[in-house]
Structure 1
Amino acid sequence: MQQRVLKVHPADNVIVALTDLQKGEVITFEGVEYELVDDIAAKHKFLTEDRAVDEDITMYGVLVGKAKQFIPRGGLMHTFNTRHASEDFGLGSRKLDWEKPDTSKFKQRTFMGYPRQDGSVGTGNYWIVLPMVFCETRNLEVMREALVDSLGYGKNQTWKDQTEQLINLYRSGKSVAEILEADLAIEEEVGTPTRLFPNVDGVKFLNHEMGCGGTRSDAQALCGLLAGYATHPNVAGVTVLSLGCQNAQVSILKEEIAKRDPNFAKPLYVFEQQEIGSEEKLVAGAIKQTFAGLIEANKIERQPTPLSKLVIGLECGGSDGFSGISANPAIGHTSDILVSLGGTVILAEFPELCGVEQELSDRCVDEETAKRFNSLMKVYNSRAEAVGSGFYMNPSPGNIKDGLITDAIKSAGAAKKGGTSPVVDVLDYPEKVTKPGLNLVCTPGNDVESTTAEVASGATVVLFTTGLGTPTGNPITPVIKLSTNTKLYNKMNDIIDINCGTIIDGEEGIEEAGERILDYVIQVASGTVTPHSVRLGQDDFIPWKRGVSL
């Protein structure tokens, strides 16, 4: 049975509305009555006690704001009466004890993965084409046109069919009004094209707008990111297109690859335009060599693999007031199960860890790791403040509209994705994960920049929670979407894979949902289930140009 309200932590002085509540209603929670002095929309909060100006507002057991004006008991918490506030943080004592979840259902489970020479195991088998600089974008597009459809990796033609219908209406003399009112036939997708190389999941083209014109550190970071993709377990081989004179040199890419895999043995084919000469020779050679590489990549087959080889990236976007009490803690439980089994998880989006720094710092396995986390957080925020921003400006209008009034509230809920296990390592962008367990990776809160970075760090599956709906995907790693509420799932189930609104609806608990999610992850990792982001070809790829991006 669905509850109407929820108090997340015993120390909180706010209560969350799980359904719309009316002004004047008397809400009883844990034997205490609260008369509402405002309408409280679902996902929003009301105060359990009067708050004077500058008095603390607490949620998830941490400081999340201060009153800007008097807020009465039973009053709505919102931006007009609440400002962001969070506790300072520093080097504390280690708090590494945690209660490991029951893993009995998964101890003997495996997934069907692609083994790599370095000991990692992929959930996919892709060939990637990398441009070293934006100047090669057109050549990448020519290669895409030549290879994708012909090899059987093209997507459904539904939208082209609809365009043809519009063309026919226009040619038949229909007016603009008649065309706009016409009901166009939408053909259902019928299967997928037959692949020439059935063991290769696709050829992916990682277009970007960097590589030259920026700072040398931009070029180094870009090469590090691209090296993360080249060495990724989901990648069988790489074709590189280079102009020749750009800042992001192929030699830097090779240095970054060697940092991540000193014994790198995957095919790496480099084509430099200024050395080769004509575009025709460049593209013809790249297509021919890529095709030859695909023949070899097709010889790799899936094999039973222990779950300890999974690397799950944790992401949220379009978050709402239910994110921190449904989908995020659910994948947090998934994370704890996987860590207990010897697997790896990645928690990123540092602007969305504001207010829970002390907890995460204290969970770091040693002081050196904690110091690095503290430093990265403080430097990042100070850079943002130097240009007139700060982590406190992270919540979007959509976040606020749906109950995330301060960045500290958003962050405390976002951190739930990482579960409760110790933090084994803290990495800066775009470093690669090397230790099993919970890793923190410094990225922006921007959905695509962060997902792009998590994959470069080694994520072979990404769990992406959303309360408002977002289509984010990745070229080489399956991104599984999870809704925080049932209304969203029913509205946008063409892009969302799993509904965690069942928790809000009282149909299941967080632990049950977390186990259900891991079972789905295993199917996706084995190639037996295709998440919507992959089915739709949502190949988002945006490198972080190291600067202020929240």
Structure 2
Amino acid sequence: MNASIATDSPARVSLRIHPRDNVAVALTDLPAGRELEIDDRTLRLADNVRHKHKFTLEALSPGDIVTMYGVVVGKATRPIAEGGVIGTDNVAHATGDDDARPGSHVWTAPEVKRFQGQTFDGYHRADGRVGTANVWLVIPLVFCENRNVEVLRQCVADALGDDPYRNYKRMARQMLTGEGDKSDAIEAEAPRRFPNVDGVRFLTHTLGCGGTDDDAQALCQLLAGYICHPNVAGATVLSLGCQKAQIQMLKAAVAERDPLGLRTLDIFDQQSSPSEDALIRHALQSIFDGLAAADRITRQPAPLSQLTLGVECGGSDGFSGISANPLVGGVVDRLVALGGSGILSEFPELCGVEHELVARCIDEPTAERFRQLIQAYQHHAEAVGADFAMNPSPGNIRDGLITDAMKSAGAAKKGGDSPVVEVLDYAEPHRRAGLGLLCTPGNDVESTTALAGSGANLILFTTGLGTPTGNPVAPVLKIASNSELARRMSDIIDFDAGPIVRGERDIGELADDLLTLCIETASGRYQSRAQRLSQHDFIPWKRGVSL
């Protein structure tokens, strides 16, 4: 990253990210009148600038473009003095209109000698893929079965002595009675019954009926992606019987991904069952038989080319696009150089940098698919009175991400700099090694859910404000954009990108460290904070407008 740093004191106080930028980022609160030395010239701030917010490096008139990351991120709506702070009151969303040519992007792969020949310890599946975890799934085909899934969840937790919320339950009893429960402490220390299994994951959702045929088909495609995921040993599925998402629809979606029928799939239909008791009994037997079979699989060495990183951002702040997102992009580039893969999602957060991604596409068909999907999504939004430019949340704006293009330019940094080898629609499986683009909404959990559904076996999630998001099947590592967040929410943050902002470490050094943590996580030697908290978020995207 070509950046110019204000040098009026030993501590870094501001950052110009790209030589073409006409704004800089305040790295700490700066008062009006403060003089900064930027690019061998002195600039006096016209306004107070809060940390993470941006100020102009030149005077702007109405209609002048605002450039950050070297791309257009906005347009001035009224005069802004040199050194003036920019915000929603004086800058509006705007993007570049470059006529990009696919394949014109030149990528220089990073140095990866340190990782050549390294492996991770994963679960080798019969289809040749390798998992970073080993779980059994319990899934409802329709929301009517959510209650029965919850019954199974409680029964299995009690039977295995593996209740993730036992400490909170103990806390509640102590608050109510003033006494502890020694039996819980003894139970918590009991050995795991299935030591080679990471657990049973119980999914619930609000779909399966009452929507369109396309909604039902999309749900079955997503569920098939989870059932056939390399981190999944098999699945127990509950059906009511009369719902739109029919059993045969799910079986067909699974067969597309698993044509040889290698994945274990047990489906139980309540309307065909003699009683609820029988339904629960058969489902429990399926789960316990599945756990026994899954436990016979042990971790074995696998090349790093078997890793697929899904990348996501949520609760972004003004530092996300400076530290955490480029850091994750550096990891993706390293993994791609090693033969592995990355998946960049959240199409609304790519608005404004489409031309750069088109230039990175390996050929015209790949670029055209990207154009078609993002345009179709934008048109769908416009049809209901929405727009991608409405994407920044109030929290984003408070932290200086004032236009969608500004947020997108920083968000796209998560995808690194390597060529785009495939473009996937929602719930489509990732098949080609390298970087792929996946059409998802910007909603954190809907997008993370889709990344796993397309085959990401490890997810890197950047955040500047803090979010506990996890996933049922893919470990999620949370990367903080700033050290204050990493300290304050240490129970949900796995990695601190703050040293980049302070100028203590460069992105390349930390990318090596983060890739090492990915290998440790993929090998089961490090358990992510989301895994420790049993944060298993799953929200399918009902194919409407979700920005």
- Normalising by structure 2, report the TM-score: 0.95
Given candidates 10, 16, 23, the residue that maps to 2:32 is 23
- Mapped pair 1:419 → 2:416: yes
CA distance in 1 between counterparts of 2:370 and 2:167 reads 47
- Mapped pair 1:8 → 2:17: yes
What SS class does the counterpart of residue 323 from structure 1 fall into? coil
- Mapped pair 1:516 → 2:513: yes
> How far does residue 91 in structure 1 lie from its aligned partner after superposition?
5.7
Q: 1:244-323 alignment to 2 at 5 Å?
A: 244-323=241-320
Q: 1:361-376 alignment to 2 at 5 Å?
A: 361-376=358-373
Residue in 2 that maps onto 1:177: none
What SS class does the counterpart of residue 160 from structure 2 fall into? coil
CA distance in 2 between counterparts of 1:361 and 1:84 reads 21
CA distance in 2 between counterparts of 1:91 and 1:107 reads 34
Residue in 1 that maps onto 2:476: 479
What is the one-letter code of the residue matched to 1:92? R
CA distance in 2 between counterparts of 1:496 and 1:190 reads 28
Greater mean alpha carbon deviation, residues 261-270 or residues 138-147: 261-270
What SS class does the counterpart of residue 150 from structure 1 fall into? helix
CA distance 1:281–1:134, change in 2 (3 Å): same
Structure 1 gap ranges (5+):
172-186
Residue in 2 that maps onto 1:225: 222
CA distance in 1 between counterparts of 2:345 and 2:369 reads 14
Q: 1:387-402 alignment to 2 at 5 Å?
A: 387-402=384-399
CA distance 1:189–1:364, change in 2 (3 Å): farther
CA distance in 1 between counterparts of 2:338 and 2:473 reads 24
1:478/1:531 contact within 8 Å kept: yes
> How far does residue 277 in structure 1 lie from its aligned partner after superposition?
2.7
Given candidates 489, 493, 498, the residue that maps to 1:492 is 489
- Mapped pair 1:142 → 2:139: no
CA distance 1:149–1:526, change in 2 (3 Å): farther
CA distance 1:287–1:406, change in 2 (3 Å): same
Structure 2 gap ranges (5+):
1-9
- Mapped pair 1:97 → 2:106: yes
What is the one-letter code of the residue matched to 1:256? A
1:91/1:371 contact within 8 Å kept: no
CA distance in 2 between counterparts of 1:189 and 1:358 reads 59
Residue in 1 that maps onto 2:175: 166
What is the one-letter code of the residue matched to 2:176? I
CA distance 1:441–1:193, change in 2 (3 Å): farther
CA distance in 2 between counterparts of 1:391 and 1:19 reads 30
> How far does residue 200 in structure 1 lie from its aligned partner after superposition?
0.8
Given candidates 449, 458, 463, the residue that maps to 1:461 is 458
1:91/1:370 contact within 8 Å kept: no
CA distance in 2 between counterparts of 1:2 and 1:235 reads 48
- Mapped pair 1:39 → 2:66: no
Given candidates 496, 504, 507, the residue that maps to 1:507 is 504
Residue in 1 that maps onto 2:5: none
Residue in 1 that maps onto 2:446: 449
Residue in 2 that maps onto 1:52: 61
- Mapped pair 1:532 → 2:502: no
1:485/1:504 contact within 8 Å kept: yes
Give the count of matched residue pairs. Answer: 534
What is the one-letter code of the residue matched to 1:130? I
CA distance in 2 between counterparts of 1:302 and 1:363 reads 36
What is the one-letter code of the residue matched to 2:276? E
> How far does residue 164 in structure 1 lie from its aligned partner after superposition?
1.7
CA distance in 2 between counterparts of 1:377 and 1:7 reads 30
What is the one-letter code of the residue matched to 1:544? W
Instruction: Give RMSD over aligned pairs.
Output: 1.6
CA distance 1:89–1:216, change in 2 (3 Å): farther
Deviations 1:229-260 (A, max 9, x none): 01000000110100111000111111111212
> How far does residue 166 in structure 1 lie from its aligned partner after superposition?
2.6
Residue in 2 that maps onto 1:83: 92
Residue in 1 that maps onto 2:213: 216
> How far does residue 191 in structure 1 lie from its aligned partner after superposition?
6.9
CA distance in 1 between counterparts of 2:358 and 2:409 reads 14
> How far does residue 373 in structure 1 lie from its aligned partner after superposition?
0.3
CA distance in 2 between counterparts of 1:445 and 1:64 reads 18
Residue in 2 that maps onto 1:181: none
Residue in 1 that maps onto 2:4: none
Greater mean alpha carbon deviation, residues 95-104 or residues 395-404: 95-104
CA distance in 1 between counterparts of 2:266 and 2:339 reads 35
CA distance in 2 between counterparts of 1:333 and 1:190 reads 43
Deviations 1:163-211 (A, max 9, x none): 2233126x9xxxxxxxxxxxxxxx9999765211111110011110100
1:89/1:357 contact within 8 Å kept: no
2:161/2:187 contact within 8 Å kept: no
Deviations 1:96-137 (A, max 9, x none): 421111111101211000000111000000000110000001
Greater mean alpha carbon deviation, residues 227-236 or residues 51-60: 51-60
CA distance 1:412–1:86, change in 2 (3 Å): same
What is the one-letter code of the residue matched to 2:132? T
CA distance in 2 between counterparts of 1:540 and 1:320 reads 22
What is the one-letter code of the residue matched to 2:438? V
CA distance in 1 between counterparts of 2:402 and 2:274 reads 56
What is the one-letter code of the residue matched to 1:527? G
> How far does residue 158 in structure 1 lie from its aligned partner after superposition?
2.6
2:317/2:463 contact within 8 Å kept: yes
Q: 1:331-346 alignment to 2 at 5 Å?
A: 331-346=328-343
CA distance in 2 between counterparts of 1:384 and 1:156 reads 40
2:102/2:367 contact within 8 Å kept: no
CA distance in 2 between counterparts of 1:231 and 1:26 reads 58
1:114/1:301 contact within 8 Å kept: yes
What SS class does the counterpart of residue 105 from structure 1 fall into? helix
CA distance in 2 between counterparts of 1:193 and 1:30 reads 62
CA distance in 2 between counterparts of 1:188 and 1:488 reads 32
CA distance 1:46–1:96, change in 2 (3 Å): closer
What is the one-letter code of the residue matched to 2:331? T
What is the one-letter code of the residue matched to 1:125? N
- Normalising by structure 1, report the TM-score: 0.95
CA distance in 2 between counterparts of 1:543 and 1:501 reads 32
2:233/2:294 contact within 8 Å kept: yes
2:349/2:442 contact within 8 Å kept: yes
> How far does residue 26 in structure 1 lie from its aligned partner after superposition?
0.7
What SS class does the counterpart of residue 159 from structure 2 fall into? coil
1:151/1:197 contact within 8 Å kept: no
What SS class does the counterpart of residue 325 from structure 1 fall into? coil
CA distance 1:190–1:525, change in 2 (3 Å): farther
What SS class does the counterpart of residue 481 from structure 1 fall into? strand
Identity %: 54
2:20/2:67 contact within 8 Å kept: yes
CA distance in 2 between counterparts of 1:404 and 1:188 reads 47
Given candidates 210, 221, 237, the residue that maps to 1:240 is 237
Residue in 1 that maps onto 2:374: 377
CA distance in 1 between counterparts of 2:159 and 2:187 reads 18
What is the one-letter code of the residue matched to 1:317? G
CA distance 1:153–1:395, change in 2 (3 Å): same
CA distance in 1 between counterparts of 2:113 and 2:542 reads 43
Residue in 1 that maps onto 2:429: 432
